[in-house]
A and B are shown apart, each in its own frame.
Chain A
Protein backbone atom coordinates (compact mmCIF):
# COMPACT_ATOMS: atom_id res chain seq x y z
CA UNK A 1 0.00 0.00 0.00
CA UNK A 2 1.32 3.42 -0.91
CA UNK A 3 1.21 6.53 1.28
CA UNK A 4 0.53 10.19 0.52
CA UNK A 5 1.71 12.57 3.24
CA UNK A 6 -0.22 15.83 3.43
CA UNK A 7 0.91 19.01 5.15
CA UNK A 8 -1.66 21.82 5.44
CA UNK A 9 0.43 24.96 5.95
CA UNK A 10 0.80 28.72 5.70
CA UNK A 11 3.94 30.84 5.97
CA UNK A 12 6.09 27.97 7.20
CA UNK A 13 9.06 28.36 4.86
CA UNK A 14 11.54 27.51 7.59
CA UNK A 15 9.84 24.16 8.35
CA UNK A 16 8.89 22.95 4.89
CA UNK A 17 12.24 21.64 3.62
CA UNK A 18 12.85 19.41 6.61
CA UNK A 19 9.24 18.23 6.76
CA UNK A 20 9.08 17.22 3.08
CA UNK A 21 12.47 15.49 3.19
CA UNK A 22 11.54 13.62 6.35
CA UNK A 23 8.24 12.51 4.85
CA UNK A 24 9.90 11.16 1.72
CA UNK A 25 12.22 9.05 3.92
CA UNK A 26 9.31 7.15 5.44
CA UNK A 27 8.61 3.65 4.16
CA UNK A 28 5.96 3.46 1.37
CA UNK A 29 5.64 7.24 0.96
CA UNK A 30 5.20 7.94 -2.76
CA UNK A 31 3.99 11.50 -2.67
CA UNK A 32 4.15 14.49 -0.36
CA UNK A 33 1.52 17.17 -0.75
CA UNK A 34 1.75 20.68 0.62
CA UNK A 35 -1.55 22.55 0.75
CA UNK A 36 -0.80 26.20 1.13
CA UNK A 37 -3.11 28.69 2.78
CA UNK A 38 -1.84 31.70 0.82
CA UNK A 39 1.71 32.03 2.12
CA UNK A 40 3.56 35.30 1.67
CA UNK A 41 6.93 33.64 2.23
CA UNK A 42 8.83 30.98 0.25
CA UNK A 43 6.76 28.02 1.43
CA UNK A 44 5.49 27.10 -2.05
CA UNK A 45 8.81 27.53 -3.83
CA UNK A 46 10.71 25.43 -1.30
CA UNK A 47 8.02 22.73 -1.24
CA UNK A 48 8.13 22.45 -5.04
CA UNK A 49 11.90 22.37 -5.04
CA UNK A 50 11.83 19.48 -2.55
CA UNK A 51 9.57 17.50 -4.86
CA UNK A 52 6.25 18.01 -3.11
CA UNK A 53 3.02 18.46 -5.03
CA UNK A 54 1.71 21.88 -4.17
CA UNK A 55 -1.64 23.58 -4.46
CA UNK A 56 -3.16 26.60 -2.76
CA UNK A 57 -6.32 25.77 -0.83
CA UNK A 58 -9.51 26.51 -2.71
CA UNK A 59 -10.91 29.02 -0.22
CA UNK A 60 -8.66 31.49 1.55
CA UNK A 61 -10.60 31.63 4.79
CA UNK A 62 -9.30 31.74 8.33
CA UNK A 63 -8.39 29.25 9.68
CA UNK A 64 -9.28 27.11 6.67
CA UNK A 65 -7.58 24.00 8.01
CA UNK A 66 -10.49 21.84 6.91
CA UNK A 67 -10.49 23.24 3.38
CA UNK A 68 -6.77 22.54 3.17
CA UNK A 69 -7.23 18.98 4.43
CA UNK A 70 -10.06 18.38 1.95
CA UNK A 71 -7.97 19.71 -0.94
CA UNK A 72 -5.10 17.49 0.18
CA UNK A 73 -7.31 14.41 0.11
CA UNK A 74 -8.64 15.37 -3.32
CA UNK A 75 -5.18 15.84 -4.80
CA UNK A 76 -3.73 12.66 -3.35
CA UNK A 77 -3.42 9.44 -5.30
CA UNK A 78 -2.00 6.86 -2.88
CA UNK A 79 -3.94 4.27 -0.86
CA UNK A 80 -3.30 5.80 2.55
CA UNK A 81 -3.34 9.48 3.53
CA UNK A 82 -1.26 10.69 6.44
CA UNK A 83 -1.80 14.22 7.70
CA UNK A 84 0.84 15.94 9.80
CA UNK A 85 1.41 19.43 11.15
CA UNK A 86 4.38 20.87 9.34
CA UNK A 87 5.80 22.63 12.39
CA UNK A 88 6.66 19.52 14.40
CA UNK A 89 10.26 20.20 15.32
CA UNK A 90 11.17 16.59 16.11
CA UNK A 91 9.41 14.99 13.14
CA UNK A 92 10.88 11.68 12.02
CA UNK A 93 9.83 9.15 9.36
CA UNK A 94 8.64 6.92 12.24
CA UNK A 95 5.76 9.35 12.93
CA UNK A 96 4.36 8.50 9.51
CA UNK A 97 5.13 4.81 9.71
CA UNK A 98 3.50 4.47 13.13
CA UNK A 99 0.34 6.20 11.92
CA UNK A 100 0.08 4.14 8.76
CA UNK A 101 1.08 0.76 10.21
CA UNK A 102 -2.35 -0.25 11.67
CA UNK A 103 -3.92 0.45 8.27
CA UNK A 104 -1.30 -1.53 6.37
CA UNK A 105 -1.74 -4.46 8.75
CA UNK A 106 -5.51 -4.30 8.36
CA UNK A 107 -6.18 -3.48 12.03
CA UNK A 108 -7.74 -0.09 11.29
CA UNK A 109 -9.05 2.13 8.52
CA UNK A 110 -8.59 5.40 10.38
CA UNK A 111 -5.88 6.19 12.93
CA UNK A 112 -5.68 9.12 15.32
CA UNK A 113 -2.23 10.03 16.54
CA UNK A 114 -1.71 10.90 20.19
CA UNK A 115 1.34 12.19 22.01
CA UNK A 116 3.21 12.05 25.23
CA UNK A 117 1.82 15.26 26.63
CA UNK A 118 -1.27 16.43 28.42
CA UNK A 119 -4.16 16.98 26.04
CA UNK A 120 -4.90 20.61 25.15
CA UNK A 121 -7.35 22.92 26.85
CA UNK A 122 -9.94 22.85 24.07
CA UNK A 123 -9.72 19.06 24.10
CA UNK A 124 -10.32 18.76 27.84
CA UNK A 125 -12.87 21.54 28.30
CA UNK A 126 -14.87 21.38 25.07
CA UNK A 127 -14.30 18.34 22.88
CA UNK A 128 -14.25 15.59 25.50
CA UNK A 129 -17.36 16.72 27.44
CA UNK A 130 -19.36 17.12 24.24
CA UNK A 131 -18.18 13.79 22.87
CA UNK A 132 -19.09 12.14 26.16
CA UNK A 133 -22.53 13.64 25.88
CA UNK A 134 -23.28 12.81 22.24
CA UNK A 135 -20.77 10.19 21.14
CA UNK A 136 -19.71 8.37 24.33
CA UNK A 137 -18.06 5.66 22.23
CA UNK A 138 -15.47 8.25 21.16
CA UNK A 139 -14.85 9.69 24.62
CA UNK A 140 -12.08 7.13 25.18
CA UNK A 141 -9.81 8.91 22.71
CA UNK A 142 -7.02 10.70 24.56
CA UNK A 143 -6.57 13.38 21.92
CA UNK A 144 -9.63 13.58 19.69
CA UNK A 145 -8.46 16.88 18.19
CA UNK A 146 -5.08 15.60 17.13
CA UNK A 147 -4.24 16.70 13.60
CA UNK A 148 -1.91 13.76 13.08
CA UNK A 149 -4.10 11.19 11.39
CA UNK A 150 -4.01 8.46 8.80
CA UNK A 151 -6.79 6.82 6.86
CA UNK A 152 -7.75 5.01 3.72
CA UNK A 153 -7.98 7.57 0.94
CA UNK A 154 -11.24 6.26 -0.48
CA UNK A 155 -12.96 6.76 2.90
CA UNK A 156 -11.99 10.44 3.01
CA UNK A 157 -14.25 10.90 -0.02
CA UNK A 158 -17.27 9.74 1.96
CA UNK A 159 -17.01 12.19 4.87
CA UNK A 160 -17.66 15.87 5.33
CA UNK A 161 -14.72 18.20 5.94
CA UNK A 162 -15.47 21.07 8.31
CA UNK A 163 -13.94 24.27 6.96
CA UNK A 164 -11.95 25.29 10.03
CA UNK A 165 -10.71 23.94 13.37
CA UNK A 166 -13.65 21.56 13.71
CA UNK A 167 -12.27 19.35 10.96
CA UNK A 168 -10.33 16.90 13.16
CA UNK A 169 -13.15 16.04 15.52
CA UNK A 170 -15.60 16.12 12.59
CA UNK A 171 -13.58 13.49 10.73
CA UNK A 172 -13.38 11.33 13.84
CA UNK A 173 -17.17 11.35 14.23
CA UNK A 174 -17.80 10.85 10.52
CA UNK A 175 -15.42 7.91 10.24
CA UNK A 176 -17.10 6.41 13.29
CA UNK A 177 -20.55 6.89 11.74
CA UNK A 178 -19.27 5.36 8.52
CA UNK A 179 -18.49 2.19 10.48
CA UNK A 180 -14.75 2.45 9.88
CA UNK A 181 -12.39 0.68 12.23
CA UNK A 182 -10.73 3.43 14.25
CA UNK A 183 -7.82 3.32 16.63
CA UNK A 184 -5.60 5.74 18.49
CA UNK A 185 -1.86 5.33 18.17
CA UNK A 186 0.76 6.83 20.44
CA UNK A 187 3.43 8.31 18.21
CA UNK A 188 5.72 9.56 20.93
CA UNK A 189 6.74 13.05 21.92
CA UNK A 190 5.70 15.99 19.75
CA UNK A 191 7.67 19.21 19.97
CA UNK A 192 5.69 22.07 18.49
CA UNK A 193 4.32 25.50 19.36
CA UNK A 194 1.27 25.73 21.62
CA UNK A 195 -1.39 28.28 20.81
CA UNK A 196 -1.82 31.16 23.25
CA UNK A 197 -5.02 31.10 25.31
CA UNK A 198 -6.72 33.99 23.47
CA UNK A 199 -6.35 32.11 20.16
CA UNK A 200 -8.32 29.19 21.56
CA UNK A 201 -11.74 30.87 21.70
CA UNK A 202 -12.42 30.55 17.98
CA UNK A 203 -11.00 27.07 17.99
CA UNK A 204 -13.24 26.01 20.88
CA UNK A 205 -16.27 27.50 19.15
CA UNK A 206 -15.57 25.67 15.89
CA UNK A 207 -14.91 22.38 17.64
CA UNK A 208 -18.16 22.70 19.59
CA UNK A 209 -20.07 23.66 16.43
CA UNK A 210 -18.66 20.66 14.52
CA UNK A 211 -19.78 18.25 17.24
CA UNK A 212 -23.18 19.93 17.61
CA UNK A 213 -23.85 19.87 13.87
CA UNK A 214 -23.22 16.15 13.82
CA UNK A 215 -25.31 15.59 16.95
CA UNK A 216 -28.17 17.34 15.14
CA UNK A 217 -27.56 15.38 11.93
CA UNK A 218 -27.51 12.12 13.86
CA UNK A 219 -30.67 13.13 15.73
CA UNK A 220 -29.08 13.15 19.16
CA UNK A 221 -30.61 16.58 19.66
CA UNK A 222 -34.15 17.61 18.67
CA UNK A 223 -33.42 18.91 15.16
CA UNK A 224 -36.21 21.54 15.16
CA UNK A 225 -35.09 23.09 18.43
CA UNK A 226 -31.41 22.87 17.42
CA UNK A 227 -31.98 24.43 14.02
CA UNK A 228 -33.80 27.37 15.58
CA UNK A 229 -31.10 27.75 18.24
CA UNK A 230 -28.22 27.49 15.79
CA UNK A 231 -29.79 30.03 13.44
CA UNK A 232 -30.01 32.35 16.47
CA UNK A 233 -26.29 31.84 17.07
CA UNK A 234 -25.51 32.49 13.41
CA UNK A 235 -27.63 35.65 13.47
CA UNK A 236 -25.75 36.85 16.54
CA UNK A 237 -22.44 36.12 14.81
CA UNK A 238 -23.59 38.34 11.96
CA UNK A 239 -24.78 41.07 14.33
CA UNK A 240 -28.43 40.35 13.49
CA UNK A 241 -29.60 39.17 16.90
CA UNK A 242 -33.38 39.07 16.85
CA UNK A 243 -35.47 40.98 19.39
CA UNK A 244 -36.86 37.72 20.65
CA UNK A 245 -33.37 36.48 21.43
CA UNK A 246 -32.71 32.78 21.67
CA UNK A 247 -35.38 30.19 22.24
Chain B
Protein backbone atom coordinates (compact mmCIF):
# COMPACT_ATOMS: atom_id res chain seq x y z
CA UNK B 1 0.00 0.00 0.00
CA UNK B 2 1.25 3.49 -0.80
CA UNK B 3 0.10 6.01 1.78
CA UNK B 4 0.75 9.73 1.99
CA UNK B 5 0.59 11.07 5.53
CA UNK B 6 0.75 14.83 5.99
CA UNK B 7 1.81 16.29 9.32
CA UNK B 8 4.41 15.75 11.99
CA UNK B 9 2.57 16.31 15.26
CA UNK B 10 0.79 14.09 17.73
CA UNK B 11 -1.93 12.79 15.40
CA UNK B 12 0.51 12.12 12.59
CA UNK B 13 2.83 10.19 14.91
CA UNK B 14 0.07 7.79 15.95
CA UNK B 15 -1.20 7.56 12.38
CA UNK B 16 2.28 6.62 11.18
CA UNK B 17 2.59 3.96 13.87
CA UNK B 18 -0.77 2.48 12.88
CA UNK B 19 0.13 2.43 9.18
CA UNK B 20 3.42 0.70 9.93
CA UNK B 21 1.64 -1.93 12.01
CA UNK B 22 -0.96 -2.62 9.32
CA UNK B 23 1.50 -2.74 6.45
CA UNK B 24 5.15 -2.93 7.58
CA UNK B 25 6.41 -3.29 4.01
CA UNK B 26 4.17 -0.66 2.46
CA UNK B 27 5.39 2.64 1.10
CA UNK B 28 4.74 5.35 3.65
CA UNK B 29 5.46 8.91 2.60
CA UNK B 30 5.32 11.56 5.31
CA UNK B 31 5.24 15.26 4.47
CA UNK B 32 6.18 17.83 7.09
CA UNK B 33 6.73 21.59 6.96
CA UNK B 34 9.52 22.10 9.47
CA UNK B 35 13.01 20.72 9.03
CA UNK B 36 13.37 19.81 12.72
CA UNK B 37 10.30 17.59 12.58
CA UNK B 38 11.41 16.04 9.29
CA UNK B 39 14.64 15.00 10.96
CA UNK B 40 12.84 13.64 14.00
CA UNK B 41 10.34 11.71 11.86
CA UNK B 42 13.12 10.23 9.72
CA UNK B 43 14.76 8.88 12.85
CA UNK B 44 11.49 7.60 14.34
CA UNK B 45 10.24 5.97 11.12
CA UNK B 46 13.43 4.99 9.28
CA UNK B 47 11.63 2.97 6.61
CA UNK B 48 9.31 5.84 5.71
CA UNK B 49 10.10 8.42 3.06
CA UNK B 50 9.98 11.71 4.95
CA UNK B 51 9.80 14.84 2.83
CA UNK B 52 10.17 18.48 3.70
CA UNK B 53 7.60 20.43 1.76
CA UNK B 54 6.20 23.94 1.76
CA UNK B 55 2.57 24.25 2.87
CA UNK B 56 1.51 25.55 -0.53
CA UNK B 57 3.27 22.79 -2.49
CA UNK B 58 1.54 19.80 -0.91
CA UNK B 59 -1.51 20.11 -3.16
CA UNK B 60 0.72 19.91 -6.24
CA UNK B 61 2.40 16.83 -4.80
CA UNK B 62 -0.98 15.16 -4.29
CA UNK B 63 -2.10 16.05 -7.82
CA UNK B 64 1.13 14.82 -9.40
CA UNK B 65 1.10 11.54 -7.47
CA UNK B 66 -2.61 10.86 -7.12
CA UNK B 67 -2.56 7.85 -9.45
CA UNK B 68 0.15 6.21 -7.37
CA UNK B 69 -1.45 6.81 -3.99
CA UNK B 70 -3.81 4.39 -2.27
CA UNK B 71 -4.55 6.76 0.58
CA UNK B 72 -4.00 10.33 1.73
CA UNK B 73 -4.18 10.99 5.45
CA UNK B 74 -4.24 14.66 6.46
CA UNK B 75 -3.07 14.91 10.06
CA UNK B 76 -1.54 18.36 10.41
CA UNK B 77 -2.14 20.57 13.43
CA UNK B 78 -4.50 22.79 11.44
CA UNK B 79 -7.95 21.69 10.36
CA UNK B 80 -7.78 24.26 7.57
CA UNK B 81 -4.81 22.46 6.03
CA UNK B 82 -6.37 19.06 6.61
CA UNK B 83 -9.50 20.21 4.80
CA UNK B 84 -7.49 21.63 1.91
CA UNK B 85 -5.43 18.49 1.42
CA UNK B 86 -8.40 16.14 1.78
CA UNK B 87 -10.31 18.17 -0.78
CA UNK B 88 -7.49 17.91 -3.32
CA UNK B 89 -7.10 14.18 -2.70
CA UNK B 90 -10.83 13.69 -3.22
CA UNK B 91 -10.88 15.83 -6.37
CA UNK B 92 -7.99 13.80 -7.78
CA UNK B 93 -9.69 10.48 -7.07
CA UNK B 94 -7.30 9.12 -4.45
CA UNK B 95 -9.20 5.99 -3.31
CA UNK B 96 -9.02 6.68 0.42
CA UNK B 97 -9.02 10.17 1.94
CA UNK B 98 -8.79 10.55 5.68
CA UNK B 99 -8.98 13.79 7.66
CA UNK B 100 -7.92 13.66 11.30
CA UNK B 101 -9.62 16.49 13.16
CA UNK B 102 -7.94 18.76 15.66
CA UNK B 103 -11.27 20.22 16.65
CA UNK B 104 -14.31 17.90 16.66
CA UNK B 105 -16.53 20.94 15.98
CA UNK B 106 -15.29 20.75 12.38
CA UNK B 107 -16.85 17.32 11.79
CA UNK B 108 -19.89 18.68 9.94
CA UNK B 109 -17.76 21.02 7.84
CA UNK B 110 -15.60 18.10 6.68
CA UNK B 111 -18.70 16.00 6.08
CA UNK B 112 -20.19 18.66 3.83
CA UNK B 113 -17.00 18.51 1.77
CA UNK B 114 -17.63 14.78 1.26
CA UNK B 115 -14.34 13.66 2.76
CA UNK B 116 -14.29 9.80 2.73
CA UNK B 117 -13.30 9.28 6.32
CA UNK B 118 -13.21 11.75 9.18
CA UNK B 119 -11.51 10.76 12.40
CA UNK B 120 -12.41 12.55 15.60
CA UNK B 121 -9.72 11.52 18.11
CA UNK B 122 -11.68 13.06 20.99
CA UNK B 123 -14.76 10.90 20.44
CA UNK B 124 -13.29 8.33 22.79
CA UNK B 125 -13.61 10.78 25.70
CA UNK B 126 -17.39 10.84 25.36
CA UNK B 127 -17.65 7.08 24.87
CA UNK B 128 -15.53 6.21 27.87
CA UNK B 129 -17.09 8.78 30.17
CA UNK B 130 -20.53 7.57 29.14
CA UNK B 131 -19.48 4.05 30.07
CA UNK B 132 -17.79 5.00 33.35
CA UNK B 133 -20.63 7.26 34.47
CA UNK B 134 -23.35 4.86 33.34
CA UNK B 135 -25.11 6.75 30.56
CA UNK B 136 -28.40 5.06 29.56
CA UNK B 137 -27.31 4.83 25.91
CA UNK B 138 -23.80 4.82 24.46
CA UNK B 139 -22.67 4.39 20.85
CA UNK B 140 -19.37 2.61 21.35
CA UNK B 141 -18.33 2.01 17.77
CA UNK B 142 -19.66 3.19 14.47
CA UNK B 143 -17.74 1.71 11.58
CA UNK B 144 -16.48 4.21 8.99
CA UNK B 145 -16.15 1.41 6.44
CA UNK B 146 -19.19 -0.85 7.00
CA UNK B 147 -22.75 -0.20 8.06
CA UNK B 148 -22.06 -1.61 11.51
CA UNK B 149 -22.65 -0.10 14.90
CA UNK B 150 -22.05 -1.28 18.45
CA UNK B 151 -23.85 0.34 21.36
CA UNK B 152 -24.69 -0.28 24.97
CA UNK B 153 -28.06 0.21 26.62
CA UNK B 154 -28.75 0.20 30.33
CA UNK B 155 -31.83 -1.81 31.24
CA UNK B 156 -33.64 0.71 33.37
CA UNK B 157 -37.17 -0.67 33.42
CA UNK B 158 -39.37 -3.62 32.43
CA UNK B 159 -40.73 -1.93 29.34
CA UNK B 160 -37.26 -1.39 27.89
CA UNK B 161 -36.31 -4.97 28.74
CA UNK B 162 -39.39 -6.24 26.98
CA UNK B 163 -38.86 -4.07 23.89
CA UNK B 164 -35.24 -5.12 23.68
CA UNK B 165 -36.06 -8.83 23.91
CA UNK B 166 -38.72 -8.63 21.24
CA UNK B 167 -36.48 -6.58 18.94
CA UNK B 168 -33.70 -9.12 19.26
CA UNK B 169 -36.11 -11.95 18.47
CA UNK B 170 -37.35 -10.07 15.41
CA UNK B 171 -33.94 -9.16 13.86
CA UNK B 172 -31.49 -11.95 13.31
CA UNK B 173 -28.79 -9.51 12.15
CA UNK B 174 -28.75 -7.82 15.57
CA UNK B 175 -26.80 -9.67 18.21
CA UNK B 176 -26.31 -8.88 21.86
CA UNK B 177 -24.36 -9.70 24.99
CA UNK B 178 -25.86 -8.96 28.39
CA UNK B 179 -24.03 -7.92 31.52
CA UNK B 180 -25.80 -8.29 34.83
CA UNK B 181 -25.45 -5.81 37.69
CA UNK B 182 -22.96 -8.17 39.27
CA UNK B 183 -20.88 -8.44 36.10
CA UNK B 184 -21.87 -11.85 34.70
CA UNK B 185 -21.88 -11.95 30.92
CA UNK B 186 -24.39 -13.93 28.90
CA UNK B 187 -25.70 -14.09 25.36
CA UNK B 188 -29.19 -15.11 26.39
CA UNK B 189 -31.85 -12.36 26.49
CA UNK B 190 -33.67 -14.26 29.22
CA UNK B 191 -30.72 -13.89 31.57
CA UNK B 192 -30.80 -10.11 31.57
CA UNK B 193 -32.40 -8.27 34.45
CA UNK B 194 -33.11 -4.72 35.50
CA UNK B 195 -30.03 -2.64 36.25
CA UNK B 196 -27.84 -4.60 33.85
CA UNK B 197 -26.64 -3.58 30.40
CA UNK B 198 -27.07 -4.90 26.91
CA UNK B 199 -24.29 -4.55 24.35
CA UNK B 200 -25.89 -4.67 20.93
CA UNK B 201 -24.32 -4.94 17.50
CA UNK B 202 -25.83 -4.81 14.03
CA UNK B 203 -26.76 -2.63 11.04
CA UNK B 204 -26.56 1.05 11.96
CA UNK B 205 -30.21 1.86 11.26
CA UNK B 206 -31.48 -1.02 13.40
CA UNK B 207 -29.18 -0.16 16.28
CA UNK B 208 -30.20 3.50 16.04
CA UNK B 209 -33.87 2.44 16.18
CA UNK B 210 -33.23 0.43 19.33
CA UNK B 211 -31.33 3.31 20.88
CA UNK B 212 -34.17 5.70 20.07
CA UNK B 213 -36.54 3.29 21.75
CA UNK B 214 -34.32 3.26 24.83
CA UNK B 215 -34.09 7.05 24.83
CA UNK B 216 -37.88 7.34 24.62
CA UNK B 217 -38.29 4.97 27.54
CA UNK B 218 -35.76 6.88 29.57
CA UNK B 219 -37.40 10.22 28.72
CA UNK B 220 -40.75 8.96 29.87
Q: Which residues of A contact B (CB under 8 A)?
A: 36, 38, 54-60, 70-75, 154, 157
Beta-carbon nearest neighbor of A156 in chain B: B55
Starting from the known contacts A58-B80, A71-B79, 9 additional A-B residue pairs (CB-CB under 8 Å) come to: A36-B105, A56-B79, A56-B106, A57-B103, A72-B80, A74-B80, A74-B84, A75-B80, A75-B84
Known contacts A38-B105, A74-B84; is-contact A58 B56 (Cβ 8 Å): no
Q: How many A-B residue pairs have CB under 8 A?
A: 44
Beta-carbon nearest neighbor of B57 in chain A: A157
Known contacts A38-B105, A56-B109; is-contact A157 B81 (Cβ 8 Å): no
Min Cβ gap A17→B in Å is 19
Q: How far, in whole Å, are A59 and B83 apart by their CA atoms in the complex?
A: 15
B77 at the A/B interface (Cβ < 8 Å)?
Answer: yes
Interface bin, chain B: 10 to 19
Q: How far, in whole Å, are A72 and B105 apart by their CA atoms in the complex?
A: 16
Across the A-B interface, the 7 shortest Cβ-Cβ residue pairs: A74-B80, A75-B80, A58-B102, A56-B105, A71-B80, A157-B55, A58-B79
Q: How far, in whole Å, are A135 and B110 apart by their CA atoms in the complex?
A: 42
Q: Which residues of B contact A72 (CB under 8 A)?
A: 80
Contact of A55 among B54, B77, B83 (CB under 8 A): B83
19 A-B contact pairs sorted by A residue (CB < 8 Å)? A38-B105, A54-B109, A55-B80, A55-B106, A56-B105, A57-B79, A58-B78, A58-B80, A58-B103, A59-B103, A70-B78, A71-B78, A71-B79, A71-B80, A74-B81, A75-B80, A154-B56, A157-B54, A157-B56
Q: Which residues of A contact B79 (CB under 8 A)?
A: 55-58, 71
Q: Which residues of A contact B55 (CB under 8 A)?
A: 74, 157
Q: Which residues of A contact B109 (CB under 8 A)?
A: 54-56
Q: How far, in whole Å, are A193 and B84 apart by their CA atoms in the complex?
A: 34
Q: Which residues of B contact A73 (CB under 8 A)?
A: 80
Beta-carbon nearest neighbor of B82 in chain A: A58
Q: Which residues of B contact A157 (CB under 8 A)?
A: 54-56
Min Cβ gap B51→A in Å is 16
- Which of chain B's residues 48-107 have a Cβ closer than 8 Å to chain A? 54-56, 77-81, 83-84, 102-103, 105-106
Beta-carbon nearest neighbor of A54 in chain B: B109
Q: How far, in whole Å, are A77 and B40 apart by their CA atoms in the complex?
A: 30
Min Cβ gap A81→B in Å is 12
Q: Which residues of B contact A71 (CB under 8 A)?
A: 78-80
Min Cβ gap B91→A in Å is 13
Min Cβ gap A68→B in Å is 10
Min Cβ gap B85→A in Å is 10
Say yes or no: B102 contacts A59, CB within 8 Å. Answer: yes
Q: How far, in whole Å, are A73 and B54 apart by their CA atoms in the complex?
A: 14
Q: Which residues of B contact A70 (CB under 8 A)?
A: 78, 80
Say yes or no: B56 contacts A56, CB within 8 Å. Answer: no
Q: Which residues of A contact B80 (CB under 8 A)?
A: 55, 58, 70-75
Q: How far, in whole Å, are A194 and B94 apart by their CA atoms in the complex?
A: 49
Contact of A56 among B54, B84, B103 (CB under 8 A): B103
Q: How far, in whole Å, are A70 and B79 apart by their CA atoms in the complex?
A: 10
Q: Which residues of B contact A74 (CB under 8 A)?
A: 55, 78, 80-81, 84
Beta-carbon nearest neighbor of B104 in chain A: A56
Q: How far, in whole Å, are A5 and B88 apart by their CA atoms in the complex?
A: 22
Q: How far, in whole Å, are A27 and B19 apart by their CA atoms in the complex?
A: 47
Q: How far, in whole Å, are A121 and B14 apart by their CA atoms in the complex?
A: 45
Min Cβ gap B60→A in Å is 13
Q: Which residues of B contact A55 (CB under 8 A)?
A: 79-80, 83, 106, 109
Q: How far, in whole Å, are A59 and B103 apart by their CA atoms in the complex?
A: 6
Min Cβ gap B101→A in Å is 9
Q: How far, in whole Å, are A169 and B188 apart by their CA atoms in the complex?
A: 66
Q: Which residues of A contact B102 (CB under 8 A)?
A: 58-59
Q: Which residues of B contact A75 (CB under 8 A)?
A: 80, 83-84
